[in-house]
């Protein structure tokens, strides 16, 4: 159930009636009519802008429309009052039975809050896609967590979601890893090795070197590169991807599909994608203009194959083939997205790091061209995270050895904290991650605050069970026993949940879920605190089992919504804080 959608439908019905009665002229569009929670609770439970939106096209005053609509709405049992206010808002108050319905829905409908927004459409969310050169570091985590929560959100909103990781195993960096693993392999055979420029000395490669030794023995020792490179490349990539998978798992991320860039080479798939663009007359032989601003010293004009991305809003056309005939990095990316389109996805989302900002337009251009404009691509950027520790910024440096991995992060603050904190902020604004603050166990820490709300409810449930209160049919409780104003406020907040899901999913913004959970948790805590002063608001009412059941039903419903929301964010809904 979605209360806001229900009431909006009611408003539209009433407007339609007014049209047939001749109060409103024919042919009015109701698309702009909204039903929203009011900014100020004293205005009522819901507000509609119908009168203001329709006044102009209907050629009448907002007040007149509002009055007529109010009279109509009052005919529905759910509407207790409908008052015109401000510039023409219609403020609605809802019957207490409506809130009881929300509580029951949250308790009995496992899909409370899910949506048919996605209508089963296939959507592909690509995220992380870090080079397979080693374990993930903190720089990757924001995009990883964001992409994962977004995927869950879209799933919850009714999309058929595929979580995907693009393995950049086609470029030269893989050779570097392969050579580095080879050095560690020699080391495993007791040789002295030195890591020169162009190799990675990372300790995480030691295990890979030993594993290679276990696999091939001494077959590659003191052999020229052409003997072992191809094989070690595969071996090293697999080993690195195993590390990546472990890191993802420790963040609670599990991909549906890993797509190998390498699989595009030598299989005709790049050629196929480029041919598709050629057939659309979007590939031509030409010369790029020199870059503006600081001119590279060695820049020289050169003729090459270019993609006409300017036709689709890009600033420059982009090269797909280098002067030496090899593909640019862009070419396999085109082929990869061609593959996504070919797999029948209705929509695509790419999550990039902030360092790929300049890449967005050409990627959108490519997808628009390849799909004939039928498949939308939304690119979300994960902005940088500044790390703070002991009051000052913590700069990462590979050389200085101050390199924080995903494992370090998870070890220090835990998966739940890392996920929630990063998901509270919009993805495209930079933010500061303070190690000291996020591990604090207090109200000031939003992760703790939300989890604590959930745990508190479970604490009440345990106490109620100890007191022998029957909790087997909370949905059947007489909710009129928990219908005071602060209690209704909590139910009203729950009623927003389906709306939050839709809005968040429509804009691909999971942070809205986190913000909402904070607000909902706040309502739970607030109600709890009121019990300190007003014993009639305590959840366990001595000698009044029906009232206790109703109040428990209310907060239990809230905890169910919290756990749904935390589920989307990938944060554990703790039942107990320790």
Partner RNA sequence: GGACCAUUAGCUCAGCUGGAUAGAGCGCUGCCCUCCGAAGGCAGAGGCCAGAGGUUCGAAUCCUCUAUGGUCCGCCA
Q: What is the SS3 assignment for 385?
A: strand
CA distance readout (Å), 498 to 43, 115, 122, 363, 457: 22, 7, 21, 32, 21
How do beta strands 283-287 and 257-260 pair?
Answer: unpaired
Kindly identify the residues of this chain, within the stretch 529-568, that bind RNA according to CB under 7 A.
Answer: 529-533, 535, 538-540
- What kind and span of H or E run contains 90? strand 89-94
Q: Please report how close the Cβ of residue 39 comes to RNA at its closest, in angstroms.
A: 4
Contact between residue 60 and residue 51 where contact means Cβ atoms under 8 Å apart: no
C-alpha distances (whole Å) from 127 to each of 56, 143, 146, 406, 455 are 46, 7, 8, 16, 32
Residue with Cβ nearer RNA (319 or 366): 319
Would you count residue 188 as binding RNA (CB under 7 A)? no
Residues 489 to 508: which contact RNA by CB under 7 A? Answer: 496, 499, 503, 506-507
Q: Applying CB under 7 A, which of residues 39, 203, 395, 399 lies at the interface with RNA?
A: 39
Pattern 108-147, RNA, x by CB under 7 A: -----------------------x----------------
Tokens 């799933």 sit on residue: 155
If the CB atoms of residues 284 and 299 are measured against RNA, the closer one turns out to be: 299
Q: How far is the CB of 219 from RNA (least distance, A)?
A: 28
Q: Which of 109, 526, 536, 544 binds RNA (CB under 7 A)?
A: 526
Q: Closest separation between CB of residue 51 and RNA, Å? A: 9
Figure out which of the listed residues 37, 118, 158, 498 binds RNA, where binding follows CB under 7 A: 37
Examine residue 179 and tell whether it contacts RNA (CB under 7 A). Answer: no
Among positions 83-102, residues that touch RNA (CB under 7 A) are 85-89, 91
330 counts as binding RNA under rule CB under 7 A: yes
Q: Nearer Cβ to RNA, position 148 or 509? A: 509
- Quote the CA–CA distance of 558 and 562 in Å, as a whole number: 6
Q: Which residue number, 91 or 563, has a Cβ lying nearer to RNA?
A: 91
d(CA 554, CA 102): 9
Q: Which stretch binds RNA (CB under 7 A): 5-13, 48-56, 150-158, 336-344?
A: 48-56
Min dist. Cβ of residue 424 to RNA (A)? 6
What is the rounded end-to-end Cα distance, in angstroms, of the chain?
35
How far is the CA of 419 from the CAs of 80, 204, 407, in angstroms?
Answer: 42, 25, 14
- Told to check if 528 binds RNA by CB under 7 A, we report yes
Q: Which is nearer to RNA, 373 or 430 (CB)?
A: 430
515 contacts RNA (rule: CB under 7 A): yes
User: Shortest Cβ distance from residue 142 to RNA (Å)?
Assistant: 12
Q: Would you say 233 and 216 are in contact if contact means Cβ atoms under 8 Å apart?
A: no
State the Cα–Cα distance between residues 569 and 566, nearest whole angstrom.
Answer: 5
CB nearer to RNA: give 26 or 297.
Answer: 297
* Cβ atoms of 102 and 552 closer than 8 Å: no
Contact positions with RNA (CB under 7 A) in 426-465: 426, 428-432, 441-444, 452, 455, 460
Cβ at position 5, least distance to RNA in Å? 12
Select from 379, 272, 369 the least CA-distant residue to 311. Answer: 369
Q: Is 190 left (phi over 0), alpha (psi -120 to 50) or beta?
A: left
Choose the stretch contacting RNA; rule: CB under 7 A; options: 98-106, 367-375, 377-385, 485-493.
Answer: 377-385
Per DSSP, what are the bridge partners of residue 351? Answer: 380
By CB under 7 A, the count of residues binding RNA is 98
Does 469 sit near RNA (CB under 7 A)? no
> In angstroms, what is the minimal distance from the CB of 401 to RNA?
21
CB within 8 A of 382, min separation 6: which ones? 142, 143, 146, 351, 352, 353, 354, 427, 428
Beta pairing class for 303-307 and 283-287: antiparallel
Q: In the bound complex, what is the minimum distance in angstroms from residue 354's beta carbon to RNA?
A: 4
- Smallest gap from Cβ 127 to RNA, in A, equals 15
Site string for RNA, 291-320 (x = CB under 7 A): xxxx-xxxxx-x-x----------x--xx-
Q: Is 36 in the site for RNA (CB under 7 A)?
A: yes
Say whether residue 381 binds RNA (CB under 7 A): yes
| Contact range with RNA by CB under 7 A, out of 148-156, 167-175, 234-242, 480-488 | 167-175
C-beta contacts of 53-56 below 8 A and 24+ residues apart: 54/15, 54/24, 54/28, 54/30, 55/88
Between the CA of residue 108 and those of 11, 438, 455, 456, 480, what are the distances in Å? 27, 35, 20, 21, 18
User: Cβ of residue 477: shortest distance to RNA, in angstroms?
Assistant: 16
Q: If binding is defined by CB under 7 A, does position 376 make contact with RNA? A: no
Q: Which residues, 383 to 402, sit near RNA by CB under 7 A? A: 383-384
Residue showing tokens 């490519």 = 366
Q: Which lies closer to RNA via its Cβ, residue 435 or residue 518?
A: 518
User: What is the bridge-based pairing of β-strands 122-126 and 160-167?
Assistant: parallel
What tokens were used for 285? Answer: 């032989």
* In the complex, minimum distance from the CB of residue 304 to RNA, in angstroms, rounded to a whole number: 6
In the complex, minimum distance from the CB of residue 172 to RNA, in angstroms, rounded to a whole number = 4
CA angle in degrees (0–180, nearest 5) for 238-241-242: 85
What's the min distance (Å) between Cβ of 531 and RNA? 3
């Amino acid at each position: 159930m979605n209360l806001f959608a229900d009431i909006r439908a009611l408003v539209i019905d009433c407007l339609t009636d007014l049209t047939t009665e001749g109060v409103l002229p024919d042919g009015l569009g109701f698309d702009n009519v909204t039903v929203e929670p009011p900014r100020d609770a004293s205005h009522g439970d819901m507000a509609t802008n119908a009168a203001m939106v329709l006044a102009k096209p209907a050629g009448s005053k907002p007040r007149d429309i509002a009055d007529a609509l109010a009279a109509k709405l009052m005919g529905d049992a759910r509407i207790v009052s409908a008052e015109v206010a401000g510039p023409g808002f219609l403020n609605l108050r809802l019957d207490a039975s409506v809130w009881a319905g929300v509580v029951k829905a949250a308790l009995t409908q496992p899909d409370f809050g899910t949506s048919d927004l996605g209508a089963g459409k296939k959507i592909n969310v690509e995220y992380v896609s870090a080079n397979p050169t080693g374990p993930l570091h903190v720089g990757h985590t924001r995009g990883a967590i964001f992409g994962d929560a977004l995927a869950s959100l879209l799933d919850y909103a009714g999309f058929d979601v595929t979580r995907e990781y693009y393995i950049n195993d086609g470029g030269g960096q893989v050779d570097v890893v392969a050579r580095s693993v080879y050095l560690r392999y020699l080391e495993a055979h007791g040789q002295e090795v030195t890591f020169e420029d162009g190799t990675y000395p990372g300790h995480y490669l030691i295990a890979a070197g030993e594993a290679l030794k276990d696999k091939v023995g001494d077959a590659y020792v003191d052999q020229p590169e052409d003997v072992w490179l191809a094989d070690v490349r595969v071996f090293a990539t697999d080993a690195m991807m195993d590390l990546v998978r472990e890191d993802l798992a420790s963040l609670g991320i599990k991909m549906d599909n890993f797509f190998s860039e390498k699989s595009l080479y030598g299989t005709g798939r790049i050629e196929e994608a480029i041919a598709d663009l050629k057939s659309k007359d979007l590939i031509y032989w030409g010369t790029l203009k020199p870059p503006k601003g600081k001119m590279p010293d060695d820049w020289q004009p050169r003729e090459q194959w270019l993609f006409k991305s300017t036709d689709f809003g890009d600033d420059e056309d982009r090269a797909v083939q280098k002067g030496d005939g090899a593909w640019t990095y862009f070419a396999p990316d085109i082929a990869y997205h061609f593959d996504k389109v070919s797999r029948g996805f209705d929509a695509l989302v790419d999550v990039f790091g902030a360092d790929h900002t300049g890449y967005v337009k050409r990627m959108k251009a490519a997808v628009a061209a390849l799909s004939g404009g039928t498949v939308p691509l939304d690119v979300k950027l994960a902005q940088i995270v500044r790390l703070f520790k002991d009051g000052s910024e913590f700069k990462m440096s590979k050389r200085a050895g101050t390199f924080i991995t995903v494992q370090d992060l998870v070890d220090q603050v835990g998966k739940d904290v890392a996920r929630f904190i990063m998901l509270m902020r919009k993805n495209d604004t930079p933010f500061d991650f303070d190690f000291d603050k996020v591990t604090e166990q207090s109200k000031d820490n939003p992760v703790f605050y939300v989890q604590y709300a959930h745990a508190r409810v479970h604490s009440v449930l345990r106490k109620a069970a100890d007191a022998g209160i029957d909790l087997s049919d909370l949905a059947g409780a007489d909710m009129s026993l928990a219908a005071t104003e602060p209690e209704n406020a909590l139910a009203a907040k729950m009623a927003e949940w389906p709306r939050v899901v839709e809005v968040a999913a429509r804009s691909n913004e999971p942070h809205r879920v986190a913000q909402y959970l904070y607000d909902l948790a706040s309502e739970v805590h607030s109600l709890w605190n009121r019990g300190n002063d007003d014993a009639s608001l305590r959840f366990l009412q001595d000698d009044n089992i029906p009232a206790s059941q109703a109040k428990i039903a209310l907060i239990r419903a809230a905890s169910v919504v919290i756990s749904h929301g935390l589920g989307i964010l990938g944060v554990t809904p703790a039942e107990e804080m320790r």
